Amino acid sequence: MSKFMNLARKFNCFYFNGDLQHCRPFLVCGKQVGVMQARVVEAACRYPDVFQMDSSGMISMHPSLTTYEERSARINHVLSQWKEERLFVTLKGWRNECYEVRTGFADPPLLKMDRSAACLFGVRQYGVEINGYTRHPQLGMSLWLQRRALSKPTWPGKWDNMVAGGLSVGHSVLDTALKEAEEEASIPAYLLANLRSAGSVSFYFESERGLFPNTEFVYDLELPPDFVPHNSDGEVDIFELVPVNQVMERIFTPEYKTTSCPTTLDFLIRHGFINSDNEPRLPELVELLHIPLHYLYSQSSSQSPISPK
């Protein structure tokens, strides 16, 4: 097994090793939007007017909650109680920033919940990441990496892509990219004109905090060799310009944010630095950067893909 493939299994640890047998499908309006681990199911069953378990073991938002507003308010109430009770470690990182819950990215939102709670329900999370790169006269092709501030609630002090941000309620994909580029790295507008959409990555990670079926919208931004990003919102410790061959070493260290590796690997593959010569399992690696998150929750699609089992 190559180092790249090992890494892909690490950020897809729930896809490969997830204990799905002890998880329950989570449904809203009859459509599956996530899965809940046993410890979350147990807590949810204390609120029979918010969560309903049917005879087959599926957990639904109570059908009497018929609007986006009602569902969002009731789940926020439950989450606030869990936060006070210190029931789940992830809620210590309460964000006061909400994520939408939807059956697919382009479907209407069914409810919103605090970003820190999404991993308790295994609902898909979306973010934006920008690969900032430069063709440096001495270093060659290089990527700008950020070290996350020690004050961040998740992955403090870890190396990360130049710009990254979650897609929260009320912001479009491109708006989020532009906003984060300005706040995190102070990229001026005339340079952001070069921002290029380059697709997305999808992976399924699990940590002690919960389940992360994550999709990152990926952008590339070529920067002039003399430009140096600097942080303006306190979320970044330092930026460092790292030649691509050093990036290809650093992503294997525990100092690199595991869930940022898919975007970095995708950049290295799209730009030819990882190829069939240095990674014989290239097709398998590429597939693991784009796993079918939108087809894993079968209750949410009328036509299910064939089963891998």
Residues found near a copy of itself in the complex (CB under 8 A): 14-18, 20, 104-106, 126, 172-174, 196-202, 204, 215, 217, 269-272, 275-277, 280-284, 286-298, 303-309
Looking at the Cβ atoms of 55 and 307, the one nearer to a copy of itself is: 307
- DSSP assignment of the chain: --HHHHHHHHHTHHHHH--GGGEEEEEETTEEEEEEEHHHHHHHTT-TTTEEE-TTS-EEE-TT--SHHHHHHHHHHHHHHHHHTT--GGGGG--S-EEEE-SSTTSPP-EEEEGGGHHHHT--EEEEEEEEEEEETTTEEEEEEEEEPTT-SSSTT-EEESEEEE--TT--HHHHHHHHHHHHH---HHHHTT-EEEEEEEEEEEETTEEEEEEEEEEEEE--TT-----SSS-EEEEEEEEHHHHHHHTTSTTB-GGGHHHHHHHHHHTTSS-TTT-TTHHHHHHHTB--HHHH-GGG-SSPPPP--
CB closer to a copy of itself out of 140 and 156: 140
| Min CB(239)–a copy of itself separation in Å | 24
Minimum Å gap between C-beta 74 and a copy of itself is 28
**Least distance (Å) from a copy of itself to the CB of residue 146?**
23
204 vs 239 by CB, closer to a copy of itself: 204
Nearer to a copy of itself, 161 or 215 (CB): 215
Q: How far is the CB of 62 from a copy of itself (least distance, A)?
A: 26
- Shorter beta-carbon distance to a copy of itself: residue 12 or 146: 12
Nearer to a copy of itself by Cβ, of 144 and 204: the residue is 204
Q: How far is the CB of 293 from a copy of itself (least distance, A)?
A: 7
- CB of 110: closest distance to a copy of itself in angstroms? 16
